[in-house]
Amino acid sequence: MKYKGSCHCGKVAFEVEGEVTEAMSCNCSICSRKGSLLWFVPRDKLRLLTPEQDASTYLFNKHVIKHRFCSNCGIHPYGEGSDPSGNAMAAVNIRCLEDFDLSSVPVKQFDGRSA
């Protein structure tokens, strides 16, 4: 299935393809403040519909995850990183998907605070 998503103002917009079978809620210092519900997909399944430079990047801790956000409205629609095997991945904030029923997927808790 293909989904469209964006930040609040639309400056950062994307399409993503796949099946949302679960989302992850992380309690690390940034995710707990953002309130994101993350769905992980191979990075090549995420296609930006707006220029890449419209998404600002925040790095912290080990600087391995690019937390992408809109510098205009502040919303964090996705992040970029690698899985343990080194494959490029995207963490899509399903709260930013258009017409998506958040109650349709189970939410798995992740203890990022201790990781």
Q: Is residue 79 very low, low, confident or very high in pLDDT (cuts 50, 70, 90)?
A: very high
Distances (CA, A) of 103 to 25, 83, 100, 107: 14, 26, 9, 9
Mean pLDDT across 20-35: 94
Task: Give this prediction's pTM.
Answer: 0.94
Identify the sign of the CA torsion 23, 90, 41, 73: positive
2-110, CATH topology level: 2.170.150
Structural domain boundaries in the chain:
2-110
| pLDDT reported for residue 17 | 98
Render pLDDT for 46-67 as a digit per residue (tens, 0 to 9). 999 999 999 999 998 889 899 9
Q: What is the CA radius of gyration of the chain?
A: 13
| Confidence at residue 115, expressed as pLDDT on a 0 to 100 scale | 78
